Amino acid sequence: MNPSEQSLISFFLPEGILEYFELTKVEKEHKELQIYLEEKNTVPSGYQKEDLESKGFFPEVSIQDFPIRGQKVALRIKRRRWTVKKTGDIISRDWDLVIKGARMTTEFGLFLKGIFG
């Protein structure tokens, strides 16, 4: 996807989502627009880069978003997981901390809270 396409699609996404997620592709299936997002490989706060190793993603989640020009919209989101090298524990970003500590719109905060609990 070229930068101008990404820029255009970003206007239809919850504000602030591209700070944490990368837009990987957009597909149209029947009357539904599928927007694929993957969590960026940025270490969660409280950990140092050398303490963690990225271990891929949790299973993809599909979230219905506002329709665009009569098309249903599904955000296909993949959350990243990391392994703590010393202990082998699997961790992921604590979205409650992100919501409390980040400067984001109420819409984006509620969006994250709805997806990740």
- Count of structural domains, the chain: 1
29 occurs within a structural domain: yes
Distance, CA of 62 to CA of 78 (rounded, Å): 9
Residue 115, in any domain of the structure: no
Q: In this predicted structure, what is the pLDDT of residue 117? A: 55
CA distance 50 to 109: 29
**Domain contains 69:** yes
Flag whether 67 is in a domain. yes
Q: Is residue 48 part of a domain?
A: yes
Q: What is the pLDDT of residue 101?
A: 47
| Domain span holding position 35 | 3-106
Angle value at C-alpha 72, between 21 and 41, nearest 5 degrees: 10
Please indicate, yes or no, if residue 117 is contained in any of the structural domains: no
- The whole-number pLDDT of residue 111 equals 64
Give pLDDT tens digits along the chain (117 positions): 788 888 888 888 877 788 889 999 999 988 899 999 999 998 887 787 778 989 999 998 888 777 888 888 888 989 899 999 889 999 888 765 444 544 444 555 666 666 665
Residue 88 lies in a domain: yes
Sheet of strand 32-39, all strands in order from the earlier edge strand to the far edge: 21-29, 32-39, 71-78, 61-68
